[in-house]
A and B are shown apart, each in its own frame.
Chain A
């Protein structure tokens, strides 16, 4: 079946530090890949996505590249801010196999200190 593995948190960084959150996946076919962010007490917000190999998703300074050869979709940001503190979820959907449900990783909590 499909699965997503994320690095465990919490990740604690100082403001303006470089961020990497690793995400690898297992799926049949050619899934679409997503990063969602969840702020305390809120729902999930789509951060970025990529639908095919070598696509790069980007938004608000965050980037992730769909690497089929390594089955990875690592999230990066060059300079984090305190306001980026949240839980980040990597997810995939396998629409090409007819399955629309998202499969999520367990989430990585990011704490940015001033």
Chain B
């Protein structure tokens, strides 16, 4: 059973470009979460999605960041007009989403470097 998949693993962008990060949840999981990890820090929650719905985006910056989880295909975290402060590791997690199966399983992350 494949785990959570993320690509690319590493992404380099220049200031002002767009970054697109993709996440495929574990088979059977319908809930996706995005977290950001700045160097030497813990993970901070960004957004929680179900298929075609954003459930909780309380951790998303108000500008330049957006996320989607379409009916078909992976979840996408999009960062427009990247700045150096966006350099971080972005982790996706997925869960079954039932009341008793709340454990989140993490992907390997995408390490974004903004030059």
Question: On chain B, which size bracket covers the interface?
Answer: 20 to 34
* A34–B42 alpha-carbon span in the complex (Å): 14
- Determine chain B's interface SS by DSSP, over half rule: strand
Q: How many A-B residue pairs have CB under 8 A?
A: 58
Complex: chain B residue closest to A99, CB-CB: B56
* A46–B10 alpha-carbon span in the complex (Å): 23
Given contacts A42-B108, A43-B107, A101-B48, contact A89 B42 (CB under 8 A): yes
User: Which of A44, A49, A107 counts the most B-chain CB atoms under 10 A from its CB?
Assistant: A44
User: Which of A93, A100, A104 counts the most B-chain CB atoms under 10 A from its CB?
Assistant: A100
Interface, chain B (partner A; CB < 8 A): 4, 6, 31, 33, 35, 41-45, 48, 55-56, 58-59, 91, 93, 95, 99, 102-109
- Chain A: how many interface residues by the 8 Å CB criterion? 21
Q: Contact: B31 with A45, CB < 8 Å?
A: no
Interface, chain A (partner B; CB < 8 A): 32, 34, 36, 42-46, 49, 89, 93, 95, 99-107
When distances are taken between beta carbons in the complex, the residues of chain B under 8 Å from A107 are 41-42
* A26–B41 alpha-carbon span in the complex (Å): 19
Cβ of A103 to closest chain B Cβ, rounded Å: 7
Please list 19 pairs of residues, one from A and one from B, whose beta carbons are closer than 8 Å in the complex, sorted by A's number: A42-B108, A43-B106, A44-B43, A44-B93, A44-B106, A45-B106, A49-B103, A93-B102, A95-B99, A100-B31, A101-B56, A101-B58, A101-B59, A102-B33, A102-B104, A104-B43, A106-B41, A106-B42, A107-B41
